[in-house]
Amino acid sequence: MRKREIAWRVFARELRDVRYTLKGDDREPFYALTPLGARVNRIYAVGVLTHVKEIDRDFYKAVVSDPTGNFYITAGQYQPQGRSFLQRIDPESLYDNPMLVAFAGKVRGYMGGEPPRLYLSVNPEFVVRADEDVRAYWILDTVRKTAMRIAAMEAALSLERPTREALLALGYPAYIADGVVEAVKEYGYVNLEGYRDMLLEVLQKFRELPMPEVSMEELPPVSEFGDYEDEMEAKVLEMIEDMDYEGTGANYLDLLDAARREGIGQTRLDEILEALKDRGEIYEPTIMKYKRIS
Amino acid sequence: MKRDELEMHVNDVMNAIPEGSASREEVRSLLTRYLNDLKVSVYEAKRTVVRKYGGDVHLLSSRIKKIGDLRAGDRGVTVIARVVTVNPKEITVEGVKRRVFYGFLTDETGTVPYFAWQLPGNVKKGGVYKIRNVQVREWQDKLEVRISENTEFIEMPQDAVPMTRKRDILVAKVADLRPRMGAVEVTGKVLSVERSIVETSDGMKEVWHGVLGDETGKVQFSSWGVAVEEGAVIRVRGAYVGTFRGMPTLVMDARCEIEETEEDVEVRDPVVSLSHLEKRGGYDVRAEGVFIDIKAGSGFIKRCPQCGRVLATTSCPVHGHVSPKPDLRIKAVLDDGTGSAHCIVNREITERVLGKTLEEVVEEGKEMLGDYSFVYEAISERLLGRPWEVRGNAIADEFGLTILVRDLKPIAVNVEEEAEFLLEELR
C-alpha cells in the first residue's frame, strides 16, 4: 500500500519558486520539488480568497493569498466539493468582504507562457471557510516547518557530499532529508537568507495584532485571470534580452522606459528585478546593467 | 528530599557563590524554603539562591547529567563524555562562511550528536572531557548538544567513561521505543499494573501487565515472573520491545534486570509528530494536526445489535434480519505536515463534536424524513480544514497509522507568544 502523501505546509512564495518536478514512471505520483527540499504532492494552506472566476462551465479558478504570495486553485468535475464551494461565491462580494479559506489538494504543474516556464496550481480536495484562529495556526506551523527546511538546506549545502544518511545523522527526519538532497542536486545554490527574511517578515506582520487584512490594492488586477506577477516577470526578462545591445547587459534607464510603456512602474520594476536576481535568472555585471543568465 | 541529597545541593550552591557571601546554614534554609514552601524545581531553586548571593549559575556542577538523561531545553548542563568524532564543516551564515564542528558524544548511558561553532584546541577525537555548560536542543525526533563559546572542556582520564558498552544495552526513553528493539534500558514509573496467570507451554506462569511512563510518554509492559508495584519507579535493563495490537510493548523476562530506584520520574505526555508515530504506534498519545478528510461512513450509522457490524439495510451478513441499532461515529484523516493518521471517533466524542446526543440526532433525522446527511455535514463543518488535538492509542500496522480517539479538542494558539518565540529562534 502506498503511503498517504503528506499535506505540506509551504508558503506561496516557496511554491512559486519551484523550477523542478519529479515524476518517475506512470505509477509514480507528481511532486513539485521546492528550493527548500519539500517534495510536494499535496498541500494544506489557509489564506484570503481574493478572486474566483468561472472559466468554463463547471470549471472554476480561484486565487488564495497568503502573506508571501498567491496560491492558484482550479476545480472541475473531479473536485466536486471545491467546485461547489467556489460556485456559491459571488466574486464581486469578495472586494468588500474578503473571506478566509482553508484548503487542501493536489499540486499540478504545467508549462506555459513565453518563454515557457513551470506553473503550479492546486486541485482542491476541499475548500472551506476559515477564521483567524485557523489562519494563525497555519501561519505559525508553516513558519516552523519552513525554518526547519531552511536549516536542513543550510546543513546540506555545507556538506561536501550531502546524503540522506548525513542529514539523518544530523537529526533531520527522513521526509525532509530525501527532498533536501534532491533540491541541492537540482537547484545548486539557494538563497536561504531570502527565505529567512520572508519568515521574519511574516512573523513581524503577524505580531501586530489584530492581523491586517490583505489590502486589495496590493493584489494583481483581476480583469484577466492568470499569474499576473509571473507574466510581468516574463516581460521584464524579455526586455532585458532585447535591450542587451552590446552584450554587456541592458541599461536600467532603458528598461524603465520600456517598462513604463508596458504599464509597469518603477517600484514594481525594482521588485521584479530583485526577484529575478534572487532566483538567479539575471545578474548585474556592472551597476545599473542587467543581464540574463542563460 | 532526603537529607544527604539536600546537602549535595547545598554543596553545589556553596561552590557557585563567592566565598564568605553566605553561610552554609543560610544557603540551606533558603534552599529548603524554595523547595518545600514554594515548590520550585531543584534546578531553579539552586539558581535563584546562587543569584541571590551573587554567584555564577554556570558553576552549579550538580547539573552533571548522563547522556541518557539529557532532555530538550536543558541549559547549563555538564556532561562527562568521550568525544567520538570531530567533523569540521563549512556553512554560510548571513553570507559569511564559517567553520563549525559536529560529531557525537558518548558515555555509558548513550550517544548524542553535538554541534559547535568552535572547539577549544585541546579537544581531540577519542578524548574524555568534563564538558561544562552545554545546551540541549531538539531537532524533530532527536536531541542535539549545543556547544557555545561559554562551554568549557576539562580533560579527564580515559577511564572516566568506560570504553565498552555493557552488553550493548540501549538506554531509551519511553517515546523512543519501537517494536523489535532488543536489549533496552528504560526508567519509568509504574502507572498501573495487574497480575494474571497464563498458561504457556512451560506450564502456568505469573505475569504482570501494566503501563509505564516517563517524561516522554507511556508504554504498556508485561513482566514475566517478576512482580512490579504500582507507583514504583523502576529501572529495567535488557528488556525487549514487542508489539501488542499495533503498539509497542516492553517485555521483561528472565534475562532482564528490574530494580526499584529512588529517583522520581515525572510522567508527561508531550505532543508527538505523526511521522514519529507512523514508525511505532504508541499507547495513550497526544498528537496535533488538521483534519483533511472526513471519510464516508462518518455521522449517523446503523449497527447489528448482536455483532456491531455497520449495516446498510436491516439485514446482517451473519445474523440475518435484525432491528439495527443507531450509532454515531467519525472516521477522519488527521495530517500534521509530517505524516497522517486515520482517526476513529466513538459515539460519545462525536456527540460532543456535534453538541447533540444520539437521541436528538435520531429525532432530527425523523423530521428530515430519514435523511441523516446533515450529521456528516455538521461534522465536516466542525472538523474539516481545522486544527485539533487528539488523544488515544495509536496503532501502527500494515494498514498505516490509526488513532482510536479518546479525547478531541480544538487547538487555540497563543499567537503573540508563539510568534515572539519563533522570532527569537530565527534571529
pLDDT tens per residue across span A246-280: 788 888 888 888 887 777 777 778 888 888 888 88
CB contact under 8 A, B337 and A44: yes
CATH superfamily for domain B274-410: Nucleic acid-binding proteins (2.40.50.140)
B400 has a chain A CB within 8 A of its CB: yes
Please tell me the pTM assigned to this model.
0.67
Work out the average pLDDT over B346-353. 95
Look at residue A268 in the predicted model and tell me its pLDDT: 77
Look at residue A199 in the predicted model and tell me its pLDDT: 94
Work out the average pLDDT over B368-389. 94
Kind plus residue range of the DSSP H or E element containing B177: none
Q: What is the least distance, in Å, from the CA of B18 to any CA of chain A?
A: 40
Q: Is A215 helix (H, G, I), strand (E, B) or coil?
A: coil
Judged against a pLDDT cut of 60, whether residue A115 lies above it is answered with yes
What separation in angstroms does the CA of B146 have from each of A15, B74, B89, B111, B224? 32, 10, 15, 14, 41
For residue B19, the tally of other CB atoms under 10 A from its CB is 6
Look at residue B363 in the predicted model and tell me its pLDDT: 95
Q: How far apart are the first and last CA of chain B?
A: 41
Work out the average pLDDT over A38-65. 93
Q: Where are the domains of chain A?
A: 7-137, 140-207, 227-292
Judged against a pLDDT cut of 90, whether residue A105 lies above it is answered with yes
Q: In terms of pLDDT, which residue wins out, A159 or B57?
A: A159
Work out the average pLDDT over B309-330. 92
Fold topology of B169-260: OB fold (Dihydrolipoamide Acetyltransferase, E2P) (2.40.50)
Judged against a pLDDT cut of 90, whether residue A293 lies above it is answered with no
Work out the average pLDDT over B322-339. 96
Query: Which of these, B75, B23, B18, lies nearest to B50 by C-alpha position?
Result: B18
A161 has a chain B CB within 8 A of its CB: no
Work out the average pLDDT over B374-403. 94
A278 has a chain B CB within 8 A of its CB: no
Out of B132-141, B288-297, B360-369, pick the least confident. Answer: B132-141
Query: Which of these, A135, A145, A122, A6, lies nearest to A75 by C-alpha position?
Result: A122
A141 has a chain B CB within 8 A of its CB: yes
How many CB pairs below 8 Å do chains A and B form together?
133
Judged against a pLDDT cut of 50, whether residue A212 lies above it is answered with no
| Domain B169-260 matches domain B274-410 at the CATH topology level | yes
Q: Judge if the upstream peptide bond of residue A210 is cis by omega within 30 degrees of 0.
A: yes
Of A143, A170, A175, the CB nearest to B113: A170
Look at residue B163 in the predicted model and tell me its pLDDT: 67
Fold topology of A227-292: Arc Repressor Mutant, subunit A (1.10.10)
B422 has a chain A CB within 8 A of its CB: yes
Q: Where are the domains of chain B?
A: 3-58, 64-160, 169-260, 274-410
CB contact under 8 A, A171 and B337: no
Q: Which of residues 40-79 of A touch B (CB under 8 A)?
A: 44, 46
Q: Which of residues 215-274 of A touch B (CB under 8 A)?
A: none
Tell me if B239 sits within 8 A of B256, measured CB to CB: yes
Interface test with A, best of B115, B136, B139, B403 (most A CBs within 10 A): B139
Most confident of B102-106, B403-407, B409-413: B403-407
CB-based burial, B248-274: b 16+ in 10 Å, e otherwise:
bbbbbeeebebeeeeeebebebeebbb
Look at residue B166 in the predicted model and tell me its pLDDT: 47
Look at residue A214 in the predicted model and tell me its pLDDT: 43
Q: In terms of pLDDT, which residue wins out, A92 or B2?
A: A92
The full length of chain A comes to 294
A133-175 pLDDT, tens digit each: 999 999 999 999 999 999 999 999 988 888 888 888 888 888 9
How far apart are the C-alpha atoms of B11 and B46, rounded to whole Å? Answer: 10
* Rounded percentage of chain B residues whose pLDDT exceeds 70: 94
Beta carbons within 8 Å of B296's beta carbon, 6+ residues apart: none
Q: Tell me, what amino acid is at B375?
A: V
Of B95, B400, B426, the CB nearest to A199: B426
pLDDT band at A227 (very low <50, low <70, confident <90, very high): low
Judged against a pLDDT cut of 70, whether residue A94 lies above it is answered with yes
Beta carbons within 8 Å of A210's beta carbon, 6+ residues apart: A132
Q: In terms of pLDDT, which residue wins out, B63 or A59?
A: A59
Q: In terms of pLDDT, which residue wins out, B11 or B225?
A: B225
Torsional sign, CA B341, B345, B350, B352:
negative
Q: In terms of pLDDT, which residue wins out, A68 or B254?
A: A68
Look at residue B93 in the predicted model and tell me its pLDDT: 76
Work out the average pLDDT over B119-148. 82
CB contact under 8 A, B420 and A1: no
Looking up cell 537529607, which residue turns up? Answer: B3
Judged against a pLDDT cut of 70, whether residue B1 lies above it is answered with no
Judged against a pLDDT cut of 50, whether residue B309 lies above it is answered with yes
Look at residue A216 in the predicted model and tell me its pLDDT: 38
A168 has a chain B CB within 8 A of its CB: no
* Rounded percentage of chain B residues whose pLDDT exceeds 90: 43
Query: Which of these, B318, B286, B113, lies nearest to B213 by C-alpha position?
Result: B286
Interface test with A, best of B96, B111, B112, B290 (most A CBs within 10 A): B290
Fold topology of B64-160: OB fold (Dihydrolipoamide Acetyltransferase, E2P) (2.40.50)
pLDDT band at B250 (very low <50, low <70, confident <90, very high): very high
Domain A7-137 has CATH 2.40.50.140: yes
How far apart are the C-alpha atoms of B321 and B119, rounded to whole Å? Answer: 77
Looking up cell 512559486, which residue turns up? Answer: A16
Look at residue A42 in the predicted model and tell me its pLDDT: 97
pLDDT band at A24 (very low <50, low <70, confident <90, very high): low
Most confident of A214-228, B72-86, B221-235: B221-235
Look at residue B277 in the predicted model and tell me its pLDDT: 94
How far apart are the C-alpha atoms of B183 and B239, rounded to whole Å? Answer: 5
Work out the average pLDDT over B99-124. 85
Look at residue B255 in the predicted model and tell me its pLDDT: 75
B92 CB neighbours in chain A (<8 A) are 154, 157-158, 192
Q: Is B19 helix (H, G, I), strand (E, B) or coil?
A: coil
Q: Give residue B399's region: left, alpha or beta (phi > 0; psi -120 to 50).
A: alpha
